[in-house]
Structure 1
Amino acid sequence: MDHAFSKLAPVAAPVARVLLSVMFISAGWQKIGAYAGTQAYMEALGVPGALLPLVIAVELIGGLALLVGWQARLAAFLLGGFAVVSGVLFHLVPGFGLDGYEAQAQMINFMKNLTIAGGMGMVVAFGAGAFSVDSRGRAAAARPLSAG
């Protein structure tokens, strides 16, 4: 069975990069289109609205870097950290004091952010894989990081 899965590796990594990156790219574009509303939402939750350009840059640049597999490990590390921080600020903390469905929805969204961070951890560990700028530049991009 492992042999069958190993044959999927060249396809799995680029597909995973696309699936992970599309959320960040689309979120960045949506924030540009709804700039004032997003800024007001951030401020309502105690996050300075002046950080919105940085948030958009992280989502768009990080998402695009991950999509094409350029500096994928660094992009995944930053996006994974971003997913955890934004999950805490926009889902976990606001969920405190809520009841029923609202509390459950916030917890689900927080857990999704943690799951995204886990996927990013896999990219950090194993690299961009096939069909990436990183793999064209150096063979190490497709190998796992060594433990020692």
Structure 2
Amino acid sequence: MRYFSLDNQKDGIILVARIALMVLFIIFGWQKLMAFSYTAGYMASLGVPVPAVATAVAVAMEFGVGLLIALGFYTRPLAVIMAVYVLATSFIGHPYWHMTGMDQYANMINFYKNISIIGGLLLLAITGPGRYSLDRR
């Protein structure tokens, strides 16, 4: 039984969803770019090898790929790549299982928030970017 259909608004909703899903990455990727040395220092404090390279990858993924997905360019493959990136950075940046107290709780929230974002990215990879995109599919 069809009790609720958004078929007529599908492409517009996919556009809004694409942008909403990427706004976090675009904003924080830009901040990482503008504070590159600070971000590299933070990466070093996490024990990330070659922190300057890791920062460059983070900027490219978050700002670059985030912007491309928001625009709907190579949306399907980039959504899958972004999902893998988010999974990897979740384990690096939010290892709540090694923490206690409020740090554990805050990092657990962020870890599972990222798992939810991965779900959205995988849905985007399946649905595609919609008509209002550079891909136009």
For normalisation by structure 1, the TM-score amounts to 0.83
C-alpha distance in 2 between matches for 1:87 and 1:129: 28
How do 1:101-140 residues align onto structure 2 when only pairs under 5 Å count?
A: 101-135=102-136
How do 1:39-118 residues align onto structure 2 when only pairs under 5 Å count?
A: 39-48=40-49, 49=51, 50-91=53-94, 93=95, 95-118=96-119
Identity among equivalent positions (%) equals 31
C-alpha distance in 1 between matches for 2:29 and 2:98: 29
C-alpha distance in 2 between matches for 1:10 and 1:126: 10
- Cα deviation code 1:110-142 (max 9, x no counterpart): 00111111100011111001210111xxxxx3x
C-alpha distance in 1 between matches for 2:100 and 2:120: 30
Amino acid at match of 2:54: L
- Structure 1 residues without counterparts, runs of 5 or longer: 136-140, 142-148
RMSD after superposition: 1.5
- Structure 2 residues without counterparts, runs of 5 or longer: none
Larger relative contact order, structure 1 or 2 (CA cutoff 8 Å, min sep 6): 2
**What is the CA distance between 1:41 and its match in structure 2?**
1.2
